[in-house]
Structure 1
């Protein structure tokens, strides 16, 4: 018998979020406002005493002409993933989503399966015989995560083709890089950096790089650097209105949910980045920089300032987000992995994203469309 599930109000959902140490920033009510092309719904699971015991933000993406939806729970839902009977949670969820016109469901369990310390990552990068992070012996392995995988398979869920080659395909990254902050002083955190990172932070200080917090009015400055970064790194940039909408929605929900940082040098902004925080978890969200005056190391300076601020406000972890799984020197994203590994943190593997076809024909058609795109 499943738990009772129903639509909940925004304030109920936010109260649930605030009662937890942290959940993903993509599972707060305001994230639905950040995605105007999707219709959002907050769902709550209730026990026999009518207490809310789980919550999830569902985003519905309409399919043209047929009035059916892809239902997506990015990095969610927030439930007891280690419960022995996950069906109690998912039977009511799937029935509800089907009643809403969903033909397929995608979710991302916020469950860590493996971790690799920075030293293990660096050694693997240096070893020409090792091609993927998944082939490296982990520093920590969560055996219970594999039991969850088995339960999901038995219920009919299937693991998405999540682009493990680069970790930056459609959907959310399976592999991320995190710097633990809890129980460590700033000196201890910086002492964990590699020599290049420490040297670059000192270079930025000596050169006079100043990192300051910005506001809504500074988003166009950030955006100009972001467009330059997109052109340099060959990705399709989001419009300025996306970041303005994100700021408005998240700050309305919590005045410290989103921060903007700008690295100045001799009157010019050389680097900019956004940081998101929910509870005791802070994420580096978007970064942008110019190719000019890189020798003053504005990117290291801005990351260190964000880590310091996250530490000051009590975050247990600073999350640098997606990394590549491939360790091949020819992969253009390997340099980003090296940069993040220089923080002395750890590579983290989640369970990845999972799909459930409520209508197998339409789900297969969606798969074919995504493959061709």
Structure 2
């Protein structure tokens, strides 16, 4: 959770926070003070999403320091001069502040002036958490995460959800029919833990598989841009085997690798598991501020007995720890706990790292005031559904 950076004297002013555009340098300076900001809020992400227009904005009191910030992506509605404004896993503001209008009102004012007809935000507080042991014990036919008593309910997230609802914001649809980012994610805490603690946190199967991989001679190495075509080939193999389709091209991953590492060398890494001269698995990792994300994983259909993916994840966890990260985010997991559901295998695999499942607040949308904007919003939703 990012801390509010305004002084008590500034808080007591009767003036409202204002929102203005920021230069790249100003925005980077702001992010340097916020270790928990998502990589989706960094300037480089705008270059990854180059089909969207982008803007960096900051909240401040007149003459004061920037106390909140956001990367805004604008998608133009065909045939109009109106835009859908999207803040992926943002904005980066003090969500613990009960006076949420302090942040939302000037944001909406700024976006309306920029031509937005609707806005989608991704507040970062968690909503609920489940320990790995509790999730594993609750698995069964027809079961879902919502059937299990959470190990922890985040009071900040619960209060914020209520505040957004009372102001007319609507939570986007479920994990497969609304949110652009995963609502349920898996996170491994790193802060205050030694590498031995992380190893002990793995379950017996994971530790056995990592040892088995090392004994079989699997090497884990960091690749380069030249290895991305092999990563993409394995990704297509994985999609076919596991029955999903990310819909990304090789050019997308090449651009992502290029622009993220241009912003900061090592921001995006490609890890390879090599056995007898062949790449058997390839995973991507992103590091920004105090967080590290496992983004995309791919593996071959053969020689799975040497457990290349377990070896890669242990290497990536170890490297995230060495970077001083506070947590290792393994990104999306399904909400099903039914062992017969094909997607449950992904959750079961991540549970072995000993972290916890987190239900985020998800993404929230609202149209701008006015009949025309509301009509455009409905039309835009239909347009996205057709695409």
Residues 14-54 of structure 1: CA distance to partner in whole angstroms, max 9, x if unpaired? 11111122210100111100111111110100124421000
Normalising by structure 1, we get a TM-score of 0.95
Go from structure 1 to structure 2 and tell me whether the alpha carbon gap of 1:236 and 1:118 turns closer, same or farther (over 3 Å shift).
closer
Go from structure 1 to structure 2 and tell me whether the alpha carbon gap of 1:236 and 1:21 turns closer, same or farther (over 3 Å shift).
closer
The answer to whether the 8 A contact 2:16-2:61 is kept is no
The answer to whether structure 1 residue 217 and structure 2 residue 217 are counterparts is no
> Secondary structure at 2:162's aligned position in 1?
helix
> Secondary structure at 1:220's aligned position in 2?
helix
Of residues 171, 188, 192, the one that matches 1:179 is 188
The answer to whether the 8 A contact 1:230-1:237 is kept is no
Residues 95-118 of structure 1: CA distance to partner in whole angstroms, max 9, x if unpaired? 211221211111110111111111
Of residues 335, 338, 356, the one that matches 2:345 is 335
Where in structure 2 are the equivalents of 1:187-198 lying within 5 Å? Answer: 187-198=196-207
- Paired with 2:52 and 2:382, the residues of 1 have a C-alpha distance of 21
Number of residues of Structure 1 aligned to a counterpart in Structure 2: 368
Of residues 65, 83, 98, the one that matches 2:112 is 98
Structure 1: unaligned runs, 5 residues or longer: none
| Distance apart, 1:248 and its partner CA | 1.3
Where in structure 2 are the equivalents of 1:121-200 lying within 5 Å? Answer: 121-125=135-139, 127-128=140-141, 131-163=143-175, 170-200=179-209
- Paired with 1:113 and 1:234, the residues of 2 have a C-alpha distance of 27
| Distance apart, 1:234 and its partner CA | 3.3
Of residues 305, 310, 329, the one that matches 1:300 is 310
> Secondary structure at 2:252's aligned position in 1?
helix
Go from structure 1 to structure 2 and tell me whether the alpha carbon gap of 1:66 and 1:49 turns closer, same or farther (over 3 Å shift).
closer
- Paired with 1:147 and 1:223, the residues of 2 have a C-alpha distance of 42
- Over the aligned positions, Cα root-mean-square deviation in angstroms equals 1.6
Q: What is aligned with 2:51?
A: 37
Residues 120-167 of structure 1: CA distance to partner in whole angstroms, max 9, x if unpaired? 010111x44x7221221111111222211121112221111132xx6x
| Distance apart, 1:372 and its partner CA | 5.0
> Secondary structure at 2:67's aligned position in 1?
strand
Normalising by structure 2, we get a TM-score of 0.91
- Paired with 2:212 and 2:311, the residues of 1 have a C-alpha distance of 9
Structure 2: unaligned runs, 5 residues or longer: 1-14
Q: What is aligned with 1:313?
A: 323
- Paired with 2:302 and 2:179, the residues of 1 have a C-alpha distance of 31
